[in-house]
Structures are given as structure tokens and as C-alpha cells.
Amino acid sequence: MATVPHYHLPFLPSCPSSSFSSLSLLSFSTKHRSFKILCCLSIKESKNDHQIIPQEPTIPAKNSLRVVLAAGGTGGHIIPAVAIADELRISNPDTEILFIGTPNSMESASIPSAGYPFTSIPPVRLFRPLFSLENLPLPIHLIHSIIHSFKVLREFDPHVVIGTGGYVSFPTCLSAVLKRTKIVIHEQNSVPGIANYVLSYFAELVFVAYNSTIECFPKKHKCMVTGNPVRLSLRQFVSEAVARLEFFPQSGEEAKVILVLGGSWGANAINIALLNVYSQMLLEHKNWYIIWQTGVESYNEMESLVRNHSNLVLKPFLHSMDLAYAAADLIVSRAGAMTCSEILATGKPAILIPSPDVAEGHQFKNASMMADVAGTRIITEDELDSTTLGTTIEEILGDDALRAEMSERALRAAKPDASAQIAQHILSLVESSSKK
């Protein structure tokens, strides 16, 4: 098999949701391959009417499973893809994995650093509103991207293509359809975007994070509620004491840590609100500590405005998120789908400030669901100021019983085995097709 070239690559926003009155499902046959899959993971199945019970297949090591993952644009698409890839390799170490993304993007840097081969295809960006002059070249760009991704798939010859969203997922999965390769997709948000809605007609399986999301897809029998795959490091549960020593060696047992996540690129509204209240909070509460991720684009400005303080760690981006989550008593963050899932998986009380700029109000819907299942507090950006933020932080950090209740509810709602479930179903899908 020829080696697929590696390239390097940006964050692109997730697609909006939409409804389609009539889209026909293309029928196609799948190329069969004779091998058996060995999977040593046991999975606790969630109870829902749409659950598919996987078999326990086997695969000889000499016949490696080949998987392509199409993910990009934002961490919300990339993180679950890497988690699925990790789980597939745990299940079958001989699995060959290739990630496809776009040039000069977040995935072009993060995927190789995660240890996976990466190649890029020309980007296809959808502008909003859908019927705008900016989208006139869209068909040409789409065809160009499909041709490139088809060449990559023809060379790598995967058994299955997994799409987790972003602009790269749509042309890659369409190429797989044309090549008659099985595809599966994963939807992280409570409401699907245009790409995943259309791709669901062709997908063998549609993995979703929430029960309510099933109603948004036309082929409900294909849907399976698994939750969002969270990174393996977060599921290994670093101890609070060890994590706090990493950030605050001087902190004692009475310390209370606030983790503020301004997003990968930065959330200006959160940064400004915290900027106007952090000093007073640390002055009034000597045992409070703040880990503040400003975002890459906001860091220089925040660093110039924030005074050095022994109880404050200021970072543009946190690479050791497992330690940051483990150290925290309270999280202040945007309401991206993956962040919400990580908050549940780590059982952390949270204050969510949904971004108003995300298509179709995805983040507000995510935050509302978090409020329902985990008692998470929501502050809209219109309501956000230093007083509102400071008061809400005081309310939660000042009430041990409330924090314990929020933590317990979050852990009950979490689906920590999502990546294992998804990997097992993918292996079962490929195994069943090889027997036909």
C-alpha cells in the first residue's frame, strides 16, 4: 500500500442545522473483505430503543483494519475523532488509521501531535446565509475537494470512513459513498448541522450525544445514543492533590480552584468579565485560585492587563487539560458540545456562558441541557458582566453541599464509555459486512 502524504493544517466553525423536505437515499453495495476483528473491550450499553447490541468479532493480526477519520475545524470535531481512533487502536493494535483535514488548520497541527498520520484536501467552506453570493463557487470547491479525497481513499482503501463534522467531513464522506465504502458519522451537538443531516441518509450508523437528537434525523433507526467521546487522559482521573501541585505548589487542603476556559481562540466577553473581578475575588478569598485559559488570540492583551499573582495561572492554551479539570472545583466556560461532555465526565460544577455566534444556537441548547441534567448555571452573554460572574462564582464556591450535588448529577449524566461503544459498533459493522 502506498504511503499517503502528510500535510499540515485551521479551525472552522460548525455547520448550522437545517431541514430538508426530500432527499433520496442512494443505495449502494459495500466492498466485502474477509477478516475477523478481535475486540477485548467490554461495554456497558446505554438503555434506549435505538441501541444496537454489538457482537464480539475477531480479526487476525495479518489483516489490518484500515480506518479514515474526517474531522476538522474545531476541537469539538477533532477531540472525539482522536478519542475514537485511540479506542480502535486499543481494541485492535494493528488498525491503520488516517486522518483527513484541511490545510493550515487546527487539525493539521493537533492530529500529528496526537501521533496519527494526516493528509489534507482542499477546504470547502459554507457561508451563511445559505443563499448568498459568497456561496456561488461552492459547487466548484466541493467537486474539487471530492476529487482529492477520492484519490486519498482509493490509495488508502479504508474499510470504513468516520465523519465527526467540520467542513472536511462532508466531501470526504461523499467520496466514500461514491467509492462504495461504508461511512458512519458522529454528531456532538443536540441539533445536527447541514453536513451530518445530509450524510445521515448514506451512513450505516449515526452516533449521537443525546436522546433528543434522534428526532432531528430522518433515518431514526440508524441512530444510536452513545454520548460524546472524551479524551482518554480525562477518563484516567488524575488525583486532585497531584493536579493542584502542578499549578499551585503552595496551595493547601482548603484551596478552591476556578478553571476559566476562554476557548481555544479566546472568548472576549468572558475574559473582560473576569478581568474586572479576579483581583477582588483573590483579595477577599485567600484560599481561592484561578487557572485562566485566555485563548491564543486574547493572551497578549490579557497578559498586559493582568497583574502577577501567586494564586493565578494565566495561559493562552492548556495542553494538560486532564490536570486542569482534576484541579478544579468550578469551571467557567463556553458551552461547546465537547466541553459539556468533559464537564460531565469529570463531574465538575460549572457556569456556562454560551457563545451567541454559533450557528442555530447550538451552545445555548447545549447549556440548557446541562442545566437540566447537572444543575449547571447559565449566564447569557447579554447578562454577563463582572458582577453577575462574581456573584455566581461566590454562590457555588461558597456552598459545599451545592457543589457536591452538582458534581453527583454531572457524573450520573456522563457517558464515559462513549468512545468504547462507538469503536465496538464500528468493528462489528465491518465484521458483519465481511461475512456477507
Same domain, 383 and 420: no
* Residue 169 belongs to a domain: yes
- The CATH number for 314's domain is 3.40.50.2000
Residue 378 has pLDDT above 50, yes or no: yes
pLDDT in tens, 37-70: 333 322 233 334 333 333 333 333 446 899 999 9
Same domain, 131 and 142: yes
The total domain count for the chain is 2
Of the candidates 396, 282, 253, the one whose C-alpha atom is nearest the C-alpha of residue 332 is 396
Using CA atoms, how far apart are residues 182 and 203, in angstroms rounded to an integer?
7
Same domain, 211 and 119: yes
Evaluate whether 378 touches 371 at the Cβ level (below 8 Å). yes
pLDDT in tens, 320-371: 899 999 999 999 999 999 999 999 999 999 999 999 876 667 899 899 999 9
Same domain, 276 and 400: yes
* Residue 49 belongs to a domain: no
Same domain, 87 and 210: yes
Same domain, 192 and 304: no
Same domain, 216 and 182: yes
* Residue 38 belongs to a domain: no
* Residue 80 belongs to a domain: yes
Using CA atoms, how far apart are residues 168 and 301, in angstroms rounded to an integer?
32
pLDDT in tens, 262-296: 766 558 899 999 999 999 999 999 999 999 999 88
* Residue 151 belongs to a domain: yes
* Residue 3 belongs to a domain: no
Cα-based torsion angle of the residue sequence 325, 329, 332, 335 in order, rounded to the nearest 10 degrees = 60
* Residue 27 belongs to a domain: no
Q: Which domain holds residue 361?
A: 234-413
Same domain, 196 and 118: yes
Work out the end-to-end distance of the chain between its first and last CA atoms, rounded to an integer number of angstroms.
Answer: 25
* Residue 338 belongs to a domain: yes
Q: Average pLDDT for residues 84-88, to the nearest whole number?
A: 96
Same domain, 109 and 207: yes
